[in-house]
Chains A and B, each alone.
Chain A
Amino acid sequence: AQKVTQAQTEISVVEKEDVTLDCVYETRDTTYYLFWYKQPPSGELVFLIRRNSFDEQNEISGRYSWNFQKSTSSFNFTITASQVVDSAVYFCALMGGYNFNKFYFGSGTKLNVKP
């Protein structure tokens, strides 16, 4: 079974604080792919990152960083020095290695960044 859990329903931080969004996944596939999407109030899901299961290197892109740990089945997302524009709902998603037209989304984490 494929499943993604985002236990944090909503997080509120003050601007410039660092914040980490948690994502835990379940899969029996040996090859799989993990994604993060941002959904601002306008509604569009914006692709942020894709990570392959065989690549456990962490990634940094500006203020964004991702920590992938197969040992704990987690793919956490950290925003450093958060800004008001980071306010959005963030979704973590899993795609299996064999059914690559099926995304399994977590329930999302709403991030509120206050000035």
Chain B
Amino acid sequence: DAMVIQNPRYQVTQFGKPVTLSCSQTLNHNVMYWYQQKSSQAPKLLFHYYDKDFNNEADTPDNFQSRRPNTSFCFLDIRSPGLGDAAMYLCATSRGGTVSQETQYFGPGTRLLVL
């Protein structure tokens, strides 16, 4: 059973047209993350939510925003996608409890194409 779900799996958008990617989880984890992964590169953390607390990485462009309306859902909004934003976007969750048990679990990703 899927525990971290991402929709859609593939998204095509036009240059400059806002797009929203969604992530949901059935693990009841406190922490949700968004990563950007470009071809042949490691995932790059954009931001994460610890419960309702939003934590942005210093080098994440303002063009990327996120919302977490409840424990189960988290959204990634790209306000004005550029060609350079074409990538795989990965959502992950972690329990957010004791450090010694902390592990991130990833969804299948959404591959974004910008035309």
Contact = CB atoms under 8 A, between A and B. Distances in A.
Contacts of A42: 108
A64 interface: no
B107 A44 contact: yes
Contact of B109 (A43, A103, A110): A43
Given A33-B102, A43-B111, A45-B90, A101 B48 contact: yes
Contacts of A95: 102
A100 B42 contact: no
Nearest to B99: A100
Interface residues of A, number: 24
Nearest to B103: A50
B56 interface: no
Interface of A: 31, 33, 35, 37, 42-47, 50, 52, 91, 95, 97, 100-103, 105-108, 110
Interface of B: 31, 33, 40-43, 45, 48, 50, 55, 88, 90, 92, 94, 96, 99-100, 102-109, 111
